[in-house]
Amino acid sequence: MIEQNRSAFIIWAFDSEIGAGDALTNVNLVKERVLSAVNPESYVDAIESQLPSDFSITQRQKVKLDQYEALRLIIEMREPSIKEAMYIIKSGNTIWVVTYATGADEFDSRLPTFEQSANTLRVEP
């Protein structure tokens, strides 16, 4: 996926310590140019139908980050058991998506760190 969309991925980083559930905790930042009519909600509606069947969006909530309004999704994957916090921000004609993923058993304890990190995000106009 990264090789096919090299220009979309700005950051992809992994924690060097593998958790108890054998999941690699990671963060990635993606940007995508969109039409001006596209907002975070319609963007999610479009990608939701493309999610594999073992993924489910369990929470969709507007949140205020330090600098931006964002749409936060909590996404769960059944096998392996992974949970993600995804923040979607629109700036001009660009959608920025930052995703934090970890083993489901570690998610609740890592979520405050993910939120702290998301609040430091600064995107280009």
Q: Beta-carbon neighbour count of residue 67 at 10 Å?
A: 13
User: Per-residue confidence at 80, pLDDT binned at 50, 70, 90?
Assistant: confident
How far is C-alpha 13 from the geometric centre of its chain's CA atoms? 13
Number of alpha carbons in the 13 Å side-chain half-sphere of residue 33: 2
Give the pLDDT of residue 3. 65
Angle at the Cα of 9 (from 3 to 15), degrees rounded to 5?
95
**Phi, psi (rounded to 5 degrees) for 89:** -125, 135
For 6-59, how does the pLDDT look when each residue is reduced to its tens digit (9 = 90+)? 666 677 777 877 766 678 898 999 989 999 999 999 999 998 888 888 999 999
Where helices occur in the chain by DSSP H, the ranges are 40-48, 104-118
For 81-104, how does the pLDDT look when each residue is reduced to its tens digit (9 = 90+)? 999 999 999 999 999 999 999 999
